[in-house]
Amino acid sequence: MGAAMAEKAVLVTGAQQGIGAACALAFAAAGYDVAVNWLDNAADAEAVAAGVRAAGRRAALIQGDVGSVPGCQAIVQGAIEALGRIDVLVNNAGIFPRVEFLQMTEAEWDRVFAVNLKGSAFAAQAAARAMVAAGTRGCIVNLSSSAIRGTPVGVHYSATKNGVIGITRSMALALAPHGIRVNAIAPGTTDTAQPRYGNTEEELQAFGRALPLGRLGRPEEIAELAVHLASDKSAWVTGQVWHINGGGYMP
């Protein structure tokens, strides 16, 4: 790894498990120091941080909830204080509480929007402000979802993941003059804990077999795409939505 690479840092929100944990480890393998944001499982977060350190990189554990603007600002500030800079933000934190539309409450709607959409927007704002102040030509990667097509038990979730695409495009335009690139990844069903809420293991594996490529996605595959989008190999890529879903959705 080169000397310049040793000076780069990434903040991954919701990094205690799943795609977020995979992103933290993939960025460490690519030479980044990693701020591991976590919410409610210190042991899982420490295991991810240990993996980052095993790759020879610095790890900072940043506990916090992206569901409020002060929370977003505190997480970004904590990452900068711990690692000295921020070059990449991966907006991964998200929730998908399954609920039938006819039973959905305002509180359920508001919480999903607070974490998935407001959290992504204001974590990006805080990170971008820091990048601009430091003169860093950084990168933001937002996590959308193939659920943008709609899901009967996730009207609120689908709305936020469509919203993530909207803010990605608009932020890409707003931040391009500062040399900051913004892209979104829309994963299909990935082999993590999240899709196991509301699906049996048999149902989940059957869904994977029905995809054109015949299996569920692996979190490491989503993470490698995030690393690619943050790299100089994607220097002319901004405002785009990258679909990675085994062929299950071809927009």
Catalogue the active-site residues. Answer: 145, 157, 161
Strands (E) located in 23-136: 33-38, 59-63, 88-91
| Sheet of 181-187, strand order | 59-63, 33-38, 9-12, 88-91, 139-143, 181-187, 241-244
CA angle 113–187–98, rounded 5-degree value: 45
Structure tokens belonging to residue 105: 């409450």
Alpha-carbon distances of 167 from 71, 120, 124, 186, 197, rounded to whole Å: 19, 9, 10, 14, 27
CA 194 to chain centre: 14
Q: What are phi and psi of 243, to 5 degrees?
A: -95, 125
Q: Which residue has the tokens 């995979």?
A: 22
Torsion of CA 73, 74, 78, 80, to 10 degrees: 10
Run of H or E residues at 242? strand 241-244
